[in-house]
Amino acid sequence: MANILTITIALPLLGALALAFLPEGSDDRAIKVVGVVASAAAFVASLVALAGFEFGDGGFQLEESFAWIPAIGANFSLAVDGVSLLLILLTTLLTPLILIASFASVTDRLKGYVASFLVLEAAVIGVFAATDLLLFYVFFEFTLIPMYLIIGIWGGKDRRAAAVKFFLYTLLGGLLMLVAVLYLFTQAGSFGYQDVLALELSQTEQRWLFTAFALAFAVKVPLFPVHTWLPDAHTEAPTGGSVFLAGVLLKMGTFGLLRYALPFFPDATVEFAPWLLGISVVGILYGAIVALMQSDIKKLIAYSSVSHMGFVVLGTFALNATATSASVVQMVNHGLSTGALFLLIGFLYERRHTRQISAFGGLAKRVPIMAGLWLLVSMSALALPGLNGFVGEFPILLGTFQTNRTAAVLASFGAVLAALYLLWAYQRMFHGPLEGADNENTSDLKRSEIGVLAPLVILIVAIGLYPKPMFDLVEPAVDRVLSEVGVDTTLDLDPVASTDAEG
């Protein structure tokens, strides 16, 4: 279908537009219908894009381009490779689920809430699909505004501080990137992805530009030590905001690293890779250790995100076909499992209006379905084989081991710590004696809530059991990026040449 990517971006925007023209004081029902229909339509559109996508081709596909600002040669050009298509699918899948899940708890200014999410969705799809550097930058920065509003208006009691912190952190990172983007424009004379890619940059230029890009993306991921905005943003954001933040927004950082930082600045990438591996490992362990201590379950999961996203960056900078492909798979896995966890936390919060782990206990007796799903999702997050986390984390370690053994071995201890904080939290909340009227009266998940979680849980199991489609989609694109960096991704099966891989 022609211009399917533009259509995918336009559909949620049309929904937001419809909401804007909805008369003041109109029925909440109409708002809900518009929101769900528009985001579901975007999901269908992205499925159409998937149907038109040719697997096995690592280049950009479904390209479309419109003149945007002809004066400076900026185009509204979109295209996808396997990586961006996968992330678009994740975005369009999560958005309708988030909206449905939010309706029970968000009653205040519902129209603005739904509209913000639709705009946010469109912007994020734009981030993943843009092939024009300026367009990418605009989308990338634009995501800040709706997310800022979602945290700042519908968030918890310290939402203002959290929203400002979120905005400052990411904006500062973004400004550095803008400078780099403008420099690249002056060199290439165009914002086109391929034009910039064709540039021959000196080592010094690469170093500076890489640093600017990497910093902007590192804030988004977030990498240690620029992660401190995330726990606050998560804790204060409404459930839907947390799910979107963890599920999709963080991936813009890792996606950006893979799409821009690596292929644009291959020499700097190779030079800085060990540093990034080191930072990732520190983040993996640090995030996990801090998570252990948290008394607020949402903060605990927020810090676990720091740890898990560290794995993604580790895989990306292992610069190895296995690890880097798996890191893309892990982006999706993290989105699904952490998204599901935040949904569960939200459902529990609606019942109890607290997120203090100590307030709960013995809940499994009253809420067996929630407890079962919680455990399953926790197992996915701690990379239990058979679930999706494992098919991401294991190949990341496998590939990283080939390029940097120390990093791989240290990172693998993140798995032990993950088991520690997730099981400990589960135990404290759901097991033990059932005490107190609040715990006694907690009700189990409703059918609608199970319905929202169902797609995520099914994917968690399905990807764990059969990851082939994901790898098939991702691998050619990753190979293309790695070949730009100069990594040989062809499999050499000559026994003579590699008899002693150990050296």
Partner 1 sequence: MEALLEYAYVVVLLPLISAAAIAAFGKQLPWKGAELGIAALGIGWLMSVGIAWQTFMNSPMEPVEEFFRWSPLGGGFVFELGMLVDGLTAMMLLLVTTVSLMVHIYSREYMKGEVRFTYFYAMLSLFTFSMLVLVIANNLLQAVIGWELVGLCSFLLIGFYWEEKSNQDAANKAFLTTKFGDVGLIVGVIVLSAGMFGLTDTPFNIIEINQAATDGLLSTSTIVLGMLLIFLGCISKSGQMPLHVWLPDAMAGPTPVSALIHAATMVTAGVFLLARLFPVLAQSALVMGVIAIVGVITLFFGGLLALVQDDLKKILAYSTISQLGYMVAAIGVGGYTASIFHLFTHGFFKALLFLGAGSLIHAVHSNNISDMGGMRKAMPHTFWTFIIGSLALAGFPLTAGFFSKDEILIAGEIWAGGGFLTGNLVYWIGLAAAGVTTFYMARACFLVFAGENRSHHPPHESGKQMVGPLMLLAVLSVASGYLLSPFSPDQPNFETWTQTPILDGDAVYPFTVDETVAFGVQGDGVIASSGSVLAAEAGDGPVSVLHGVPSWHPDLLAIVLVIFSLAVFLAWRFYGKGLPEKDPMLQMGPVTRALVAKYGFDDFGYRYIVVPVRDVLSRWATTSSNTYIDGAVAGVGKATKSAAMATYRTIDQKVIDGAVNGSALSAAWWSDRLKRIQSGDVQRYAGAIVAGVIVLVLAFAAAR
Contact between 144 and partner 1 per CB under 8 A = no
Where in 232-271 is the site for partner 1 (CB under 8 A)? none
Contact between 149 and partner 1 per CB under 8 A = yes
Q: What is the nearest approach in angstroms of partner 1 to the Cβ of residue 398?
A: 5
Contact between 390 and partner 1 per CB under 8 A = yes
Report d(CA 212, CA 264) in Å as an integer.
Answer: 12
Contact between 6 and partner 1 per CB under 8 A = yes
CA angle 387, 476, 332 (to 5 degrees): 30
- Dihedral over Cα of 290, 292, 296, 301: its sign: positive
The 10 Å Cβ neighbour count of residue 480 is 18
Q: Which of 194, 203, 427, 448 binds partner 1 (CB under 8 A)?
A: 427
**Identity of the residue, 160 or 446, whose beta carbon is nearer to partner 1 in the bound complex:** 160
**CA distances (Å), 427 to each of 31, 254, 354, 357, 424, in order?**
39, 32, 17, 10, 5
Q: Which of 100, 323, 343, 367 binds partner 1 (CB under 8 A)?
A: 323
- Per-residue string for binding with partner 1, 281-320, x by CB under 8 A? -----x--xx-xxx-------------------------x
Q: What is the nearest approach in angstroms of partner 1 to the Cβ of residue 315?
A: 9
- Dihedral over Cα of 384, 56, 255, 85: its sign: negative
Q: Which of 30, 47, 178, 423 binds partner 1 (CB under 8 A)?
A: 423
Contact between 179 and partner 1 per CB under 8 A = no
Cα 381 → chain centroid? 14
Q: What is the nearest approach in angstroms of partner 1 to the Cβ of residue 9?
A: 8
Q: Which of 141, 205, 236, 475 binds partner 1 (CB under 8 A)?
A: 475
User: Which tokens hold the place of 44?
Assistant: 């269908």
**Identity of the residue, 47 or 419, whose beta carbon is nearer to partner 1 in the bound complex:** 419
Contact between 109 and partner 1 per CB under 8 A = yes
Q: Which of 146, 238, 241, 253 binds partner 1 (CB under 8 A)?
A: 146
Q: Which of 296, 432, 483, 485 binds partner 1 (CB under 8 A)?
A: 432
Reference 374, options 428, 411, 328, 332; nearest CA is 428
Contact between 115 and partner 1 per CB under 8 A = yes
Give the interface segment with partner 1, choosing from 45-53, 256-264, 346-354, 398-406 (CB under 8 A). 398-406
**Identity of the residue, 152 or 201, whose beta carbon is nearer to partner 1 in the bound complex:** 152
* Beta-ladder partners of 61: 80
Q: Which of 384, 450, 461, 462 binds partner 1 (CB under 8 A)?
A: 384
**CA distances (Å), 32 to each of 17, 92, 96, 343, in order?**
14, 17, 10, 18
Where in 7-66 is the site for partner 1 (CB under 8 A)? 9-10, 13-14, 16-17, 19-20, 66
Where in 66-85 is the site for partner 1 (CB under 8 A)? 66-68, 76
Contact 60, 81 (CB under 8 A): yes
Q: How many residues lie near partner 1 (CB under 8 A)?
A: 102
What are φ and ψ of residue 295, in 5° steps?
Answer: -100, -15
* Beta-ladder partners of 132: 192
Q: Which residues contact 486 (CB under 8 A, 6 or more apart)?
A: 266, 270
Q: Helix or strand or coil: residue 380? A: helix
